């Protein structure tokens, strides 16, 4: 089932994101995590490509395995970075042959150490070009794209940022999944600006609970950044160890999700970091299992 159809029938729709394992042991541990989350009945799950387009082979393997060994609706990340059009076409043909028909189309981050993003010769410069390419050749595919409530790092002009996002939607995107954020006001403002620009597709809110101080710093250093509200920083500052930080992070994310549900959000996308604990606790606290059914 394509995700656009799920979003029409299920509100709110909850989805989980995983990243491909590095080793065989990691692969088995990840499947235990996924098995722990399957009873939560996510509308879909997605698998990342990794920064700079790395881990692409493991992404393909995990996506195909999830599609063949579970009843989950799976979306595969696909980026412009590091691939020619022919290579991208080969990946898409493999997915199509394995019954995988949902793609999250992204420009992708530059490889680690690169000063700036550069298009691969024979590839695509922008995510909108990738969306149009996929829609032209695989019109039956469902298509998601990324949105940035706090602003895109490569487009300081936020008016142009929304224009670029609308171009991706006009090229054929069915829905938008946002980068993580910690202040829901940024998300609501983003949704209003999308509406003003004539963007009508569903917007899915991206949530990632803080788990450690180091992880919080890493979030702030990401290419897209992450604005950490003072109340969250204060809550973390009061913690004496990482266990307390994790508890504070889950509490903050739970309140974000509660508020988003109260505001009738179309969907929530959990960045799981391949762990089940935080997502399960948020579900249980808010009794989310009874909120949405296809």
List active site positions.
Answer: 17
Distance (Å) of CA 47 to CA 54, 75, 200, 203: 13, 7, 25, 19
User: Phi/psi zone of residue 138: left (φ > 0), alpha (ψ -120 to 50 degrees), beta?
Assistant: beta
Contacts of 264 (CB under 8 A, 6+ apart): 11, 12
Nearest to 105 by CA among 82, 126, 121: 126
CB environment 263-288: b (16+ within 10 A), e (fewer): eebbbbbbbbebbbebbbbbbeeeeb
Q: Give the separation between CA 80 and CA 129, rounded to whole angstroms.
A: 9
Q: Give the separation between CA 44 and CA 218, rounded to whole angstroms.
A: 26
CA 125 to chain centre: 21
Which contiguous run of DSSP H or E holds residue 251?
Answer: helix 242-262
**Token code pair at residue 137:** 């050749």
Which contiguous run of DSSP H or E holds residue 122?
Answer: none
């Amino acid at each position: 089932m394509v995700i656009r159809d799920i979003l029409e029938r299920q509100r709110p729709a909850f989805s989980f994101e995983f990243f491909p394992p590095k080793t065989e042991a990691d692969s088995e541990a990840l499947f235990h995590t996924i098995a722990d989350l399957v009873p939560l009945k996510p509308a879909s799950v997605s698998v990342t490509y990794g920064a700079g387009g790395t881990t692409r082979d493991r992404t393909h393997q995990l996506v195909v395995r999830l599609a063949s060994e579970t009843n989950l609706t799976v979306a595969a990340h696909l980026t412009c970075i590091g691939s020619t059009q022919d290579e991208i076409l080969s990946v898409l043909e493999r997915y199509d042959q394995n019954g995988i028909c949902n793609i999250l189309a992204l420009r992708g981050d530059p490889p680690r150490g690169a000063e700036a993003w550069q298009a691969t010769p024979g590839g695509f410069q922008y995510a909108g070009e990738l969306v149009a390419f996929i829609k032209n050749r695989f019109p039956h595919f469902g298509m998601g794209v990324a949105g940035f409530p706090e602003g895109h790092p490569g487009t300081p002009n936020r008016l142009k940022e929304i224009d670029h996002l609308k171009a991706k939607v006009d090229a054929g995107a069915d829905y938008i999944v946002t980068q993580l954020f910690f202040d829901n006001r940024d998300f609501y403002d983003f949704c209003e600006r999308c509406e003003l620009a004539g963007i009508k597709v569903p917007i899915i809110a991206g949530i990632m609970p803080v788990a450690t101080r180091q992880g919080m710093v890493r979030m702030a250093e990401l290419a897209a950044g992450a604005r950490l509200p003072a109340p969250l920083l204060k809550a973390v500052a009061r913690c004496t160890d990482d266990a307390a930080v994790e508890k504070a992070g889950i509490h903050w994310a739970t309140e974000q999700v509660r508020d988003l549900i109260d505001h009738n959000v179309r969907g929530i996308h959990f960045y799981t970091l391949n762990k089940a604990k935080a997502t399960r606790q948020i579900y249980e606290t808010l009794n989310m299992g009874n909120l949405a059914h296809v």
